[in-house]
Structure 1
Amino acid sequence: MTTEPFWIESAAGRPYPALDRDLEVDVAVVGGGMAGLSTAWELVKEGLSVAVLEAGRIAAGVTGHTTAKLSAQHTMIYAKLAKSGGAETARLYATSQQEAVEHVAATAAELGVDCDLERVPSFTYVESAGAVEEVRAEVEAAAEAGLAASFTDSSPLPFPIAGAVRVEDQAQFHPRRYLLGLAEAMTARGARIFEGTRVVALDEGEPCTLRTEGGMTVTARDVVLATHYPVFDRGLLFARMKPERELVVAAVIPAGRDPRGAFITTEQNSRSVRTAPYGRGRRLLIVTGERFEPGAGGVEERFGRLAAWTAERFGADEVAYRWAAQDNHTTDGLPFIGPFHPGARHTYVATGFGGWGMSNGALSGLLLTDLIRGRQRSWTRLYDPRRLHPLREAGPALKMQAAVAAHFVGDRLGTAPAGALAELEPGRGAVLKVDGRRCAVYRDEEGCLHAVSAVCTHLGCVVGFNDAERTWECPCHGSRFGVDGSVLQGPATEPLDRVELAGNELGSEAGSGPGRRTAG
Structure 2
Amino acid sequence: MTENPHVSGSYWLETAPGPDRPALTDDLDVDVAVIGAGIAGLSTAWELARAGRRVAVLEADRVAAGVTGHTTAKLTALHTLIYDKLRRTRGAEGARLYARSQSEALERAAEIADELGVDCDWERRSAYTYARDAGRIDELRAEAAAAHEAGLPASFVTETGLPFAVAGAVKVTGQAQFHPRKYLLALTDDLLARGAHVHEHTTVIGLEEGEPCRLTTDTGARVTARDVVVATHYPVFDRALLFTRLSPRRELVVAGTVPADSDPDGMYITPDEGTRSVRTAPHGADRLLVVTGEHFTPGTGDTRARFQHLSDWAAEHFPDVTLTHAWATQDNDPTDTVPLVGPLHPGAHHTYVATGFGGWGMSGGIMAGRLLTALITGEECAWSGLYDPRRLRSTVREAPSFLKHQATVARHFVGDRLRGSESVESVEPGEGAVVRAGGERLAVYRDEAGHLHALSPRCTHMGCLVAFNAAERAWECPCHGSRFDTDGKVVEGPAIRPLEQREL
Match of 2:263 in 1: 258
1:285-312 C-alpha deviation (Å, 9 max, x unpaired): 0000000000003000000000000000
1:310-329 equivalence runs, <5 A:
310-329=314-333
1:10 corresponds, among 3, 12, 15, to 15
Question: How far off its partner does 1:415 sit?
Answer: 4.1
Q: Are the equivalent residues in 2 in contact too, given 1:297–1:465 (CA < 8 A)? A: no
Q: Which amino acid aligns with 2:366?
A: A
Match of 1:467 in 2: 470
**TM-score using structure 2 length:** 0.98
Q: Are the equivalent residues in 2 in contact too, given 1:415–1:438 (CA < 8 A)? A: no
1:214-293 equivalence runs, <5 A:
214-279=219-284, 281-293=285-297
1:106-505 equivalence runs, <5 A:
106-279=111-284, 281-391=285-395, 392-417=397-422, 420-501=423-504
The answer for unaligned runs of 5 or more in structure 1 is: 502-520
Match of 1:19 in 2: 24
The reply on whether 1:30 has 2:39 as its aligned counterpart is: no
CA distance in 1, matches of 2:212, 2:440: 42
Q: Which amino acid aligns with 2:392?
A: L
CA distance in 2, matches of 1:297, 1:220: 43
Match of 1:516 in 2: none
1:391-445 C-alpha deviation (Å, 9 max, x unpaired): 111121111111111111100111405xx11111111111112233221111111
1:307-329 C-alpha deviation (Å, 9 max, x unpaired): 00000001145320000010100
Q: Are the equivalent residues in 2 in contact too, given 1:438–1:455 (CA < 8 A)? A: no
The reply on whether 1:49 has 2:49 as its aligned counterpart is: no
Q: Which amino acid aligns with 2:375?
A: L
Q: Paired residues, what number?
A: 498
Give the secondary-structure state (helix, strand or coil) at the position aligned to 2:233. coil
Give the secondary-structure state (helix, strand or coil) at the position aligned to 1:122. strand
Question: How far off its partner does 1:4 sit?
Answer: 1.5
Q: Which amino acid aligns with 1:29?
A: V
Q: Are the equivalent residues in 1 in contact too, given 2:212–2:224 (CA < 8 A)? A: yes
**TM-score using structure 1 length:** 0.95
CA distance in 1, matches of 2:321, 2:11: 18
Give the secondary-structure state (helix, strand or coil) at the position aligned to 2:45. helix
Q: Are the equivalent residues in 1 in contact too, given 2:424–2:437 (CA < 8 A)? A: no
Question: How far off its partner does 1:262 sit?
Answer: 0.2
Question: How far off its partner does 1:376 sit?
Answer: 2.1
Q: Which amino acid aligns with 2:73?
A: A
Identity %: 60
1:109-145 C-alpha deviation (Å, 9 max, x unpaired): 0110110110000000000011111000000000000
Q: Are the equivalent residues in 1 in contact too, given 2:105–2:366 (CA < 8 A)? A: yes
Q: Are the equivalent residues in 1 in contact too, given 2:238–2:344 (CA < 8 A)? A: no
Give the secondary-structure state (helix, strand or coil) at the position aligned to 1:416. coil
CA distance in 2, matches of 1:3, 1:232: 32
Mean alpha-carbon deviation: is it higher for 158-167 or for 437-446? 437-446
Question: How far off its partner does 1:496 sit?
Answer: 0.2
Question: How far off its partner does 1:256 sit?
Answer: 1.4
The answer for unaligned runs of 5 or more in structure 2 is: none
CA distance in 2, matches of 1:294, 1:316: 32
Q: Are the equivalent residues in 1 in contact too, given 2:240–2:345 (CA < 8 A)? A: yes
